[in-house]
Structure 1
Amino acid sequence: MIKSILGMLLLVGVFACDGIDSSKQKTPKKKTSEADAAGESEEDNRKVILFYGNSITAGYGLDISEAFPAIIQERLDSLGYNYNVINAGLSGETSAGGLSRIDWVLKTPVDIFSLELGGNDGLRGISLDETEKNLSQIIEKVKRSNPQVKIIVAGMQIPPNMGQEYTDRFKGIFPTLAEKHNTAFIPFILEGVGGIPELNLPDGIHPTPEGHKMLADNVWAVLKPIIDEDNI
């Protein structure tokens, strides 16, 4: 019980650190041969998995190649799945911020969309009705952009700083959204990582590369069945 409480307390501030938008990618080098051009064409034909979130998705404090979306890409490639993973995480993002930039993000067609937002809202005591409304509108916009899109909602939890009623209601937002919009659901994306010192950076709140490997496992457990069904 003590370990569980400590783990939750160490999550305070996990989303509140503003940082560089880790969704930015390096500019690819120009193709110089027919073989390279063919490779580029093949990449263009890949389906897109977009991870949309805050510092957890962005891989705060790490190279983007160490964040869980990159690990997912490596796993997909090793198994021969034809998907391109996009990390659209932004450290410090709130549900309102996510709603404000979703139209821009959706300029890229998306086949599978993973939503990991809301933690900053809870830690700042933002109205839960507002958080749920923002997240719901994000999901609706994603669906309108592609009616065939598959969506994953990542659940989050916060410590009881705002009171137990607020904490419980916050936790309940995510399964409610998943049920309402008929999406896949990750109960707690930081399961097995939050509050474990050796799996977090010195700040005690952001996962290490090893921690992100566990996050990738948590995501993969929900993502793989979607991919398998998509490839039947």
Structure 2
Amino acid sequence: MSNGLRGFLIVVPAFCTLILGCGREDRKPSPGASADTVAVGTNDGSAEDSTGAAARAADRRVVMFVGTSLTAALGLDPDLGFPARVQAKIDSAGLPFEVVNAGVSGEISAQARDRVAKWLVKQPFDVMVLETGANDMLQGLSLAALRRNIEQIVDTVRKARPDARIVLAGMVAAPNLGERYGREYRAIYTGVAREDSLSLIPFLLDGVAGNPDLNLGDGIHPNERGQRIVAENVWRVLEPVLREEAAKPARAAGPP
């Protein structure tokens, strides 16, 4: 068991409560905003994204982060979340990419599948970082369905945007769910990545999960220090993808 997983067992009940119970309405809205407004810095995909449009106008390409409360930086200003920290790394590296945070708290993989198909493929992006499945695990949903949903997201993106790159964020099951379940759960990510030739982040929360010093009071969502480590986990895999893409001629915006 990696150091990042030690202690994960004891925080699973909080994880269930705080991820599964946190939809968009649970984020604190800004003054004058409706209760279900997505936090500043995130975009659920149901509206045209101004960041992506601005990136195109500035001849920058788009990296879209699709995920749950982990991607949405639940409990923090989105500017402190790992997608924003990846943007800082992109800027420091001088790469022509703009990050769009399309994280939605409480989302299961079936909802991510539908959101990608209905909205997100209509947004401009060149690279998608996909983080989904933690809530499926915590709700005890079918592992076969989780795999199908991830595969369908990949198929949808490939059909609509055949040149787009997909980076899959791997997750690890809580140890108390059993060795067999954990093995089958993790194999979903490694299997889909292998079969569909995706770049894989082995475990998004490696070095953070279960460490109280790196998580918020709920014991599971990374705090500011934890977000820095998660950003490093992502960057190790994403940076070479972005460098490869930056070396290619810019593509057309794709589907309207």
TM bracket, shorter-chain basis? 0.7 to 0.9
Distance 1:2 1:107 in 2: 39
Q: Does the Cα contact within 8 Å between 1:125 and 1:162 map onto a contact in 2?
A: no
Judge which range, 76-85 or 46-55, deviates more: 76-85
Q: Does the Cα contact within 8 Å between 1:195 and 1:205 map onto a contact in 2?
A: yes
Counterpart of 1:19 in structure 2 is 23
Matching residue's letter, 1:7: F
Q: TM-score, normalised by structure 1?
A: 0.87
Distance 1:83 1:125 in 2: 37
Q: Does the Cα contact within 8 Å between 1:96 and 1:131 map onto a contact in 2?
A: yes
Distance 2:55 2:202 in 1: 37
Counterpart of 1:158 in structure 2 is 173
Counterpart of 1:123 in structure 2 is 138
Cα distance, 1:109–1:24 mapped onto 2, change above 3 Å: closer
- Mark the runs of 5 or more structure 2 residues left unpaired by the alignment: 25-37, 45-53, 248-256
Q: Does the Cα contact within 8 Å between 1:158 and 1:167 map onto a contact in 2?
A: yes
- Mark the runs of 5 or more structure 1 residues left unpaired by the alignment: 26-39
The percent identity for this pair of structures is: 38
Counterpart of 2:187 in structure 1 is 172
Does residue 97 (structure 1) correspond to residue 111 (structure 2)? The answer is yes
Does residue 77 (structure 1) correspond to residue 91 (structure 2)? The answer is yes
Matching residue's letter, 1:231: A
Alpha-carbon deviation of 1:173?
A: 0.5
Counterpart of 2:11 in structure 1 is 10
Cα distance, 1:91–1:68 mapped onto 2, change above 3 Å: same
Q: Does the Cα contact within 8 Å between 1:201 and 1:208 map onto a contact in 2?
A: yes
Counterpart of 1:35 in structure 2 is none
Distance 1:102 1:43 in 2: 23
Distance 1:204 1:55 in 2: 14
Alpha-carbon deviation of 1:5?
A: 4.1
Alpha-carbon deviation of 1:153?
A: 0.7
Alpha-carbon deviation of 1:16?
A: 1.9
Distance 1:115 1:96 in 2: 13
Aligned residue runs from structure 1 range 38-117, under 5 A: 43-103=57-117, 104-117=119-132
Distance 1:92 1:77 in 2: 30
Distance 1:221 1:51 in 2: 16
- DSSP 3-state at the match of 1:185: strand
Matching residue's letter, 2:126: D
Distance 1:74 1:98 in 2: 26
Does residue 226 (structure 1) correspond to residue 245 (structure 2)? The answer is no
Alpha-carbon deviation of 1:231?
A: 2.5
Distance 1:86 1:185 in 2: 19
Alpha-carbon deviation of 1:81?
A: 1.3
How many residues are paired up? 218
Cα distance, 1:89–1:230 mapped onto 2, change above 3 Å: same
Distance 1:176 1:219 in 2: 19
Distance 2:142 2:85 in 1: 34
